[in-house]
């Protein structure tokens, strides 16, 4: 289409610039990455090339695949600036200095194509200041696109335009960031810190300042300010360590300089001696020696320690004992009203942050939904500020503010006696400054179960799953169990769903809106059954799971799996037995059962063997495919992106990848409908496997790792069972094996392993600690 963005120039190859370049490349778009000349050496592109090389080694990885990095062409602003004329969007990510940025802008104006979008990633300099002295033609194409770090994983992008900005051009950039880069684009006004950092810095500064003044420990403060308010369990101090303590003084100074003198931020922005001492002694956060928390490796042990505000010294981390938190439970108002230090801290930090958020409408954004979305995606809050105010009650909140002589924002006055959000006629609505409710609208191409559930009921439901009619003859199968773990109830409802689609509908999509698609089978149930020797129940669960996977695979209608987050073990087996996968780009899939001393039991071995045996890149013969599958399953390999999953053949060539999480269900539905006409289920296949000689080779490989100390005694047992399954378990030198035979071998090996004490110990340890046990 006209105006399509097919090449992007990123100028500035620092952490943010290289991260933005990597995400554009992840989308399959060519990138020109430019930076200054190096101080020495003959390679004039060394700065940009070095940034890409570092990004390929960084964890968490900016690139979704090594192939994406090849889409980035490196250069420098002295030799290659004129090449911005090749690009459809220029992103400036240079030093946060006005003189440096404007000098670059004048040079760009002389070489860029007229009408080319140009934006700054600044988080501190207002748009109107950046444009001072710039020609009208530049202002016409200029905007701020503020990404969050790391750009691959943070879903928020704040967009700021000015009165002269071409709104059609801004909309084109916004659409590209939405569909191609996977961002939720929030429109902001040209105010200091925009939305997320304006509010987030206020919140974090208040939390750090109040902690020593109230007399709380860091652990206590993080416990109060973490999960009770829907904030990540890192809390404020853990988040500060993650972001970097060294950034705090610069960000706060910038915010203080930009905000008017009457702003409430100035009252909490104070020097804290302990923080100053940490920075002076090199404690800059996780990227350095540590920060508010550190890992002490003295004596060969890893001991977590925390800074003590009272002494200024590190001490052992202590588990907080705060009865008030338990008493409040999930009631946010009770926490804000709690007696003593806990309630005082909760109110002084979060209560005042919510009051501050209310004044940002309309100063920083047109409506409350923009504020809430910015904090949900920019700071990973479970609920936005206005959703939290609804939880405590608008009238109670306003009354508390007035009792403490805190100014009440107009949007709070407008909400008197009401809530900020409501459901009316099956639509979620939000309250505007005009005092009226407005429908919360989604962009075209966005379909969410969250919205569907407001106006519809499931067509099928039990305690672990639900089935929804998403229109056009397509049903959606949703896991609803804890962590979307798979159990007998999910399998039972799946059988009913398959029958229902066969009778009345066209296709089935398997999808949910949890943090993870599925972490696999509920191994806690398997452990319980093993402990009471209920082996018949375990065998029935394995057999039923295999039966349901086969029914999915050979159903007379298309089945599309739409994963996001982790799709592990049985979750991965759902993907493998679907006709197609429409995966969110941040899908982490793998058959991980060997990590707890088991094997895939629902056909995962069978499906991976079939895919690798028919892959044209594999050498001929019966051994290469089983060897490849053995390497992946025995090491519990997990793909770190949908691109990785494709390399592992969990995704196939025809499977799709959706960059924006909000668009996943609509894309999966479209994929399912595209398969309906002329659909025929796949034919059952036979696989040529190497037999006992192949098993011997695999056993020898595991024994070699054991001699090097890289495999335990039980790893040898697990590897032996996996080798039996993958080589066919027969007596012939080369054996042609049917799918049913491999399934039988999976069942037998799974049961034998579950009956070992070492496997039970691994499962128990994983359930208790969330970490694998090497025994």
User: What's the pLDDT tens digit per position in 356-413?
Assistant: 999 999 999 999 999 999 999 999 999 999 999 999 999 999 999 999 999 999 999 9
- Let me know if 23 is exposed, middle or buried by CB neighbors in 10 A (0-12, 13-18, 19+): buried
Q: What is the pLDDT of residue 775?
A: 86
C-alpha neighbours within 13 Å on the C-beta side of residue 706: 16
Residue 443 C-alpha from the chain's centroid? 21
One-character DSSP codes across 635-700: TT---SSHHHHHHTTSS-TT-EEESSGGGHHHHHHHHHHHTTTT--PPPP-EEEE-THHHHHHHHH
Residue 334 pLDDT > 60, yes or no?
A: yes
pLDDT: is 714 or 731 the higher one? Answer: 714
475 near 497, Cβ under 8 Å? yes
Mean pLDDT of 263-289: 92
C-alpha to C-alpha distance for 767 and 338, rounded to whole angstroms: 33
Which percentage of the chain shows pLDDT scores above 70? 99
Q: Is cis: bond before 150, omega within 30 of 0?
A: yes
Domains 196-410 and 449-592+638-682 share a fold: no
- Least confident piece of the model among 1-5, 113-117, 377-381, 418-422: 1-5
Strand partners, 158: 146, 186
Helix (H), strand (E) at residue 495: helix 488-504
Architecture of the structural domain at 449-592+638-682: Alpha-Beta Complex (3.90)
- Residue 254: count other Cβ atoms within 10 Å of its Cβ: 18
Q: What is the pLDDT of residue 340?
A: 95
Q: What is the pLDDT of residue 353?
A: 98
Residue 617 pLDDT > 80, yes or no?
A: yes
Helix ranges (DSSP H) in 565-639: 570-576, 604-613, 624-634
- CA Rg, the chain, in Å? 28
Residues 469-520: tens digit of each pLDDT: 999 999 999 999 999 999 999 999 999 999 999 999 999 999 999 999 999 9
- Split at pLDDT 50, 70, 90, the class of 732 is low
- Split at pLDDT 50, 70, 90, the class of 287 is confident
Architecture of the structural domain at 7-188: 3-Layer(aba) Sandwich (3.40)
- Split at pLDDT 50, 70, 90, the class of 730 is low
Q: What is the pLDDT of residue 748?
A: 95
Tokens 């990123």: give the residue.
10
Antiparallel, parallel or unpaired: β 156-160 and 184-188: parallel
Q: Going along 338-459, which residue ranges are E strands? A: 421-424, 427-431, 437-439
Separation in Å, CA 260 to CA 77, 356, 662: 36, 14, 37
- Split at pLDDT 50, 70, 90, the class of 734 is low
Q: What is the pLDDT of residue 115?
A: 94
Strand partners, 72: 31
Give the start-to-end residue ranges of the domains of the chain. 7-188, 196-410, 449-592+638-682, 596-637+689-775
Helix (H), strand (E) at residue 92: strand 89-92
Q: In the CATH hierarchy, which fold is given to the domain comprising 196-410?
A: 1.10.1040
Mean pLDDT of 100-119: 97
C-alpha to C-alpha distance for 500 and 510, rounded to whole angstroms: 14
Q: What is the pLDDT of residue 1?
A: 34
Q: What is the pLDDT of residue 733?
A: 61
- Look up residue 344 and give its two tokens: 């005082």
C-alpha to C-alpha distance for 122 and 135, rounded to whole angstroms: 20
Helix ranges (DSSP H) in 112-194: 127-130, 136-140, 167-179
Q: What is the dihedral of CA 306, 309, 310, 316, to 10 degrees?
A: 0
C-alpha to C-alpha distance for 377 and 416, rounded to whole angstroms: 28
Reported pTM: 0.95
313: phi then psi, degrees, rounded to nearest 5? -115, 160
Residues 9-56: tens digit of each pLDDT: 999 999 999 999 999 999 999 999 999 999 988 999 999 999 999 999
Q: What is the pLDDT of residue 770?
A: 87
Antiparallel, parallel or unpaired: β 587-590 and 156-160: unpaired
44 near 38, Cβ under 8 Å? yes
C-alpha to C-alpha distance for 439 and 417, rounded to whole angstroms: 20
pLDDT: is 179 or 534 the higher one? Answer: 179
681 near 556, Cβ under 8 Å? yes
- Split at pLDDT 50, 70, 90, the class of 159 is very high
Q: Name the region of 400 (left: φ>0; alpha: ψ -120 to 50; beta: rest).
A: alpha
Q: What is the pLDDT of residue 729?
A: 80
Helix ranges (DSSP H) in 246-294: 247-258, 265-268, 273-280
Which is it for the CA torsion 107, 108, 112, 115, positive or negative? negative
32 near 86, Cβ under 8 Å? yes
Residues 637-646: tens digit of each pLDDT: 999 999 999 9
117 near 173, Cβ under 8 Å? yes
One-character DSSP codes across 719-769: HHHHHHHHHTS-SSSSEEEEHHHHHHHHHHHHHHHHTSHHHHHHHHHHHHH
One-character DSSP codes across 621-643: SSSHHHHHHHHHHHTT---SSHH
- Least confident piece of the model among 62-66, 77-81, 529-533, 632-636: 529-533
- Let me know if 306 is exposed, middle or buried by CB neighbors in 10 A (0-12, 13-18, 19+): buried
- Look up residue 429 and give its two tokens: 């609505």
Looking at every residue in the chain, the average pLDDT score rounds to 95
C-alpha to C-alpha distance for 583 and 735, rounded to whole angstroms: 35
Q: What is the pLDDT of residue 467?
A: 98
Helix (H), strand (E) at residue 507: strand 507-510
C-alpha to C-alpha distance for 517 and 521, rounded to whole angstroms: 12
Antiparallel, parallel or unpaired: β 656-658 and 587-590: unpaired
Residue 751 pLDDT > 70, yes or no?
A: yes
């Amino acid at each position: 289409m006209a105006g399509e963005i097919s090449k992007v120039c990123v100028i500035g190859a620092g952490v943010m610039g290289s991260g933005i370049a990597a995400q554009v490349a992840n989308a399959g778009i060519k990138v020109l990455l430019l930076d200054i000349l190096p101080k020495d050496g003959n390679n004039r592109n060394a700065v940009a090339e070095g940034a890409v090389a570092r990004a390929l080694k960084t964890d968490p990885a900016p690139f979704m695949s090594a192939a994406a990095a090849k889409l980035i062409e490196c250069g420098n602003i002295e030799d290659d600036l004129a090449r911005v004329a090749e690009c459809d969007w220029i992103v400036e990510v240079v030093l946060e200095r006005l003189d440096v940025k404007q000098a670059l802008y004048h040079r760009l104006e002389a070489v860029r194509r007229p009408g080319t979008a140009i934006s700054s990633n600044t988080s501190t300099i207002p748009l109107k200041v950046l444009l001072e002295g710039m020609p009208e033609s530049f202002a016409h194409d200029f905007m701020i696109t503020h990404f969050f770090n790391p750009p691959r994983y943070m879903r928020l992008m704040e967009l700021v335009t000015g009165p002269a900005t071409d709104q059609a051009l801004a909309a084109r950039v916004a659409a590209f960031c939405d569909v191609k880069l996977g961002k939720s684009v929030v429109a902001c006004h040209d105010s200091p810190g925009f939305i997320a950092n304006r509010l987030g810095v206020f919140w974090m500064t208040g939390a750090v300042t109040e902690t020593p003044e109230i007399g709380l420990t860091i652990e206590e403060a993080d416990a109060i300010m973490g999960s009770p308010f829907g904030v990540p369990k890192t809390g404020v101090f853990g988040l500060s360590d993650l972001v970097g303590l060294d950034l705090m003084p610069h960000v706060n100074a910038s915010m203080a300089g930009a905000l008017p003198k009457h702003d409430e931020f100035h009252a909490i922005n104070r020097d804290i001696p302990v923080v100053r001492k940490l920075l002076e002694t090199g404690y800059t956060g996780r990227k350095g020696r540590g920060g508010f928390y550190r890992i002490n490796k003295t004596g060969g042990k890893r001991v977590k320690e925390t800074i003590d505000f009272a002494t200024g010294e590190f001490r052992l981390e202590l588990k907080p004992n705060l009865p008030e938190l338990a008493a409040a439970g999930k009631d946010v108002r009770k926490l804000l009203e709690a007696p003593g230090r806990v309630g005082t801290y909760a109110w002084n930090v979060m209560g005042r942050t919510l009051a501050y958020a209310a004044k940002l409408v309309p100063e920083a954004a047109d409506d409350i939904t923009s504020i809430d979305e910015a904090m949900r995606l920019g700071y990973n809050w479970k609920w936005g500020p206005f959703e939290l105010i609804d939880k405590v009650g608008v009238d109670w909140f306003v009354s508390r503010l007035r009792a403490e002589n805190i100014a009440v924002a107009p949007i709070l006055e407008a909400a008197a006696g009401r809530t900020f959000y409501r459901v009316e006629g099956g639509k979620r609505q939000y309250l505007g400054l005009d005092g009226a409710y407005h429908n919360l609208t989604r962009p075209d191409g966005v379909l969410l179960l969250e919205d569907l559930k407001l106006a519809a009921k499931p067509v099928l439901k039990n305690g672990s799953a639900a089935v929804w009619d998403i229109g056009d003859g397509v049903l959606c199968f949703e896991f609803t169990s804890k962590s979307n773990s798979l159990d007998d109830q999910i399998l039972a409802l799946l059988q009913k769903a398959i029958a229902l689609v066969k009778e009345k509908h066209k296709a089935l999509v398997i999808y949910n809106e949890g943090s993870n698609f599925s972490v696999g089978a509920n191994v806690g149930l398997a452990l319980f059954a093993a402990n009471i020797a209920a082996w018949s129940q375990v065998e029935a669960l394995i057999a039923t799971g295999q039966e349901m996977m086969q029914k999915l695979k050979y159903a007379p209608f298309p089945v599309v799996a739409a994963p996001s987050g982790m799709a592990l073990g049985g979750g991965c087996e759902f993907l493998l037995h679907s006709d197609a996968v429409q995966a969110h780009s941040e899908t982490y899939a793998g058959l991980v059962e060997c990590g707890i001393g088991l094997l895939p039991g629902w056909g995962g071995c069978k499906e991976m063997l079939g895919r690798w045996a028919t892959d044209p890149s594999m050498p001929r013969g019966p051994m290469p495919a089983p060897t490849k599958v053995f390497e992946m399953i025995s090491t519990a390999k997990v793909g770190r992106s949908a691109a990785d999953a494709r390399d592992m053949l969990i995704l196939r060539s025809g499977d799709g990848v959706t960059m924006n999480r909000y668009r996943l269900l609509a894309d999966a539905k479209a994929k399912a409908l595209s398969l309906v006409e002329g659909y025929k289920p796949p034919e059952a296949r036979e696989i040529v496997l190497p037999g006992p000689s192949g098993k011997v080779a695999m056993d020898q490989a595991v024994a070699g790792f054991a001699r090097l100390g890289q495999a335990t005694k039980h790893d040898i047992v697990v590897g032996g069972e996996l080798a039996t399954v993958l080589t066919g378990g027969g007596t012939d030198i080369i054996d042609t094996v049917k799918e049913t035979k491999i399934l039988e071998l999976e069942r037998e090996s799974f049961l034998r392993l579950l009956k070992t004490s070492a496997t039970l110990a691994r499962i128990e340890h994983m359930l208790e600690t969330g970490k694998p046990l090497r025994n």
